[in-house]
Chain A
Amino acid sequence: MTTLNDQFQAEVFQNEFLPAGTGEVHAIMTVSAGEDVTAAARERLFGIICDSSGSMDGGKIVAAKAAISKLISMLPADCHFFLVTGSDEARLICQVARATPENKQRALTAIRDIHATGGTRISNWLHTAWQQFRSMPNAVRQALLLTDGQNDASDEHPLQEALQHCEGVFQCDCRGVGTDWKVAQLRTIAAKLLGTTDIIPTPAQIEADFQGILQKALGKSVIDVVLRLWTPQGAKVKFCKEVSPEIVDLTGRAREVKPQLREYPTGAWGKGESRDFHFCIELPPGAIGDEVLAGRASLVYSSQGVETKVAEARILAVWTDDDGKSTKINRMVAHYTGQTELAQSIQEGLDARAKGDEEKATALLGKAVKIAASSGNEATAKLLRQVVDVVDADKGTVRLKQSVSKEDSMALETRSTKTARIARNS
């Protein structure tokens, strides 16, 4: 373990011993931001992007307007905010302004005039938000996107382009109201913009959820943190995933700094925040007794164009002919491999159920129940029980429930990527 700065700590968990002839190294890196991660007078910009398409009409838009009003009134005076509503086009209701009582009042007045009408073209909403966020590049930049429906099919390509554009400019948490939205669609947006996805089953719950998002955003103090991974000559990164608090595959997000060195965006970090990453690196096989560094992972953050390395950890590989050493699987690696399998089983299981393949769905969801039970992921186990009747959790024997509410099924799907942490010293 290496600590380069008191603010962040990185630690690697792995079994460095490999049998001869192999080269696949797995390692979990845990990174924790210290309690005293500070940012002197860090500015914050909080953007609200709210669906105002026709489908929001009625209770949803009323609840959303009330929740947004509450949210704006709660903003601390030293932060900035803006509000965009979107249908086919985006409307900038309030442009970037400091959250002074006067500006808040002006926003609250403007919110009253929001009406729900038109279609859903999220690319336009993101583009408008992008213009606002661009004005404060050194602030903590967090958006909240609320929608209740699917994006217009013809907006698929523009949305991808808009996401490319927005990546790195701001982070965005996505919330779906009701059950008419697509989990995969919102997850794509949230993953690209380093945010979370969740379901708000009923409009009445919007307010509480918004408050949570705001509190989290206000807790961020270090922005634009990247994870750099150096690997030796001839090595290949098979994958790099964030595995806690949520599973996010970062493999495709790598930006090559130069050969052997690539970086992955991790966004903003708050005080005391902790995340775990899973690396899989393929090395050219070594000879018995060889010891090499398979990877050097570091966390780097930028402030006003100057980058600072805050934590570093080393991933090793040692070749041995002692099977007792090389066949052991590190507990952390095993745990998160299991959590990844859990999320995958749930997603594939729900997919099979939707397609009417009950046998496959039962097998996969049964496997999910088993992993959730054995890994202590009580939150996911509870969600699973809404969808299946558990006969024997340890064996993974389940029966599909005949009638499952759409909310429960979507809640399971959206939250399936949340992982449980392993107790360190158990």
Chain B
Amino acid sequence: MNAYPCPKGHNSIESDYCSECGAKIPAVSGAVSQLSQPDQPIEAQASSSSSATDLCPVCGALREIAGLAFCEICGWDFANGPAIGTAVASVSASDSVAGTTPAMAPEGLPANSTAEPNSNWTVTIEVDLLLRQQSSPFPLTGIVPLTLPLNQPVSLIGRRSEARAVFPEIALAYDDAVSHRHALLQIDGNGALLLRDIGSSNGTRLNGQETTPMQDYPLHDGDQITLGHFTRISVKAIR
């Protein structure tokens, strides 16, 4: 979409200096920064600077290659994602975009609520040593709890594998008792969040109870999913 040709041949997503090599981008006649504004409703009021327009609205990462449909970091769908308003998205803009994916649009949220997430759910992933069995290895140190918004209708919990082309949304590389394809978190048409173990080797527990594979369990605020050696996933509903 908004690529600025850099003198060294990169396609920069920034209009002032190349987002790859930092080289100064020659000014195009007129205000370059204006060009990127109209098709960026998400950033409606956030800024008058062009540099803000190609950041992922969810994780804030730079959009590496202009025109890329998904954020390389968090998987945000640039083209079809509902407007989440970085700070104060204009209401009309967010409505029109959000309408394209009704399943993920937050329900019952006041229209002027600031910084509204694009789904009603977040999960916090952490290592809980109390879950560890005697025979389990010790986890690496330095793993801090990570909170992720559930942006997609389906999020895979698993371990990344290049060889098998498994790229989970919720990747638990540090816990080798998690299957590559372990379980799914799905947001249904009513905005409810469902957990399904997809035939993992070591199973998935919901609030301490073993779940039956291939069966959907509706989740609620505060539910605890535990799996692998010592992984705890806490579910949070955002009102």
List residues of chain A with CB under 8 Å of any chain B CB.
Answer: 2, 4-5, 40, 134, 137, 160-161, 164-165, 167-169, 228, 230-235, 257-258, 261, 283, 290-294, 296, 298, 300, 303-309, 312, 314, 317
- Distance A307 CA – B141 CA, assembled complex (angstroms): 26
| B145 near A168: Cβ-Cβ < 8 Å | yes
**In the bound complex, do residue B17 and residue A292 qualify as a contact, i.e. CB atoms below 8 Å apart?**
yes
Q: Chain A's nearest CB lies how many Å from the CB of B165?
A: 20
Extra contacts, 12 of them, besides A168-B144, A230-B19, A307-B59 (Cβ < 8 A), are A137-B147, A164-B141, A164-B142, A165-B144, A232-B22, A293-B17, A293-B18, A293-B22, A306-B117, A308-B87, A309-B86, A317-B22
- B171 interface residue (CB < 8 Å to A): no
**B residues within 8 A CB of A228?**
60
CB-based nearest B residue for A293:
B17
A5 / chain B contacts, CB cutoff of 8 Å: 46-47, 87
B86 with A308: CB separation less than 8 A: yes
B5-40: which residues lie under 8 A (CB-CB) from chain A? 14, 16-24
Q: Does B235 contact A (CB under 8 A)?
A: no
Interface residues as binary, B40-62 with A (CB distance below 8 Å gives 1, 0 otherwise): 00000011010110010111111
Q: Indicate whether A4 sits within 8 Å of B46 (C-beta atoms), given known contacts A230-B62, A306-B84, A308-B87.
A: yes
Q: A167 and B84: CB pair below 8 A?
A: no
Decide yes or no: A160 and B122 within 8 Å by CB, A305-B117, A308-B87, A309-B60 being known contacts: no
Per the CB 8 Å criterion, the residue count for chain B at the interface is 43
Interface readout for B220-232 with A: 1 if CB under 8 Å, 0 if not? 0000000000000
Contact residues of B between 118 and 166, Cβ < 8 Å to A: 122, 124, 141-145, 147-149
The 4 closest A-B pairs by CB, nearest first: A232-B22, A293-B17, A292-B22, A293-B22
Query: Which residues of A have CB within 8 Å of B68?
Result: none
Q: Give bound CA distance, A231 to B14, whole Å.
A: 13
Closest to A316 in B: B17
Number of residue pairs spanning A and B whose beta carbons lie under 8 angstroms apart = 106
B149 touches A305 (CB 8 A): yes
Contact B61 A258 (CB under 8 A): yes
* Distance between Cα atoms of A2 and B116 in the complex (Å): 25
Complex Cα spacing A309 to B52, Å:
8
Give chain A residues whose Cβ lies under 8 Å from the Cβ of B60. 228, 298, 300, 307-309
Interface pair A2/B49, CB less than 8 Å apart: yes
Q: With A and B bound together, what is the CA distance between A205 and B62 in angstroms?
A: 49
Give 13 pairs: A residue, B residue, CB < 8 Å, sorted on A.
A40-B114, A137-B124, A164-B142, A169-B144, A233-B22, A235-B22, A257-B61, A261-B61, A283-B22, A290-B23, A291-B23, A305-B117, A308-B115
With contacts A304-B238, A306-B149 taken as known, whether A233 is within 8 angstroms of B61 at the C-beta atoms is no
Measured in the bound complex, the distance between the Cα atoms of B16 and A317 in whole Å is 14
B115 touches A303 (CB 8 A): yes
Looking at the assembled complex, report how far the CB atom of B81 sits from the nearest CB atom of chain A, in whole angstroms. Answer: 12
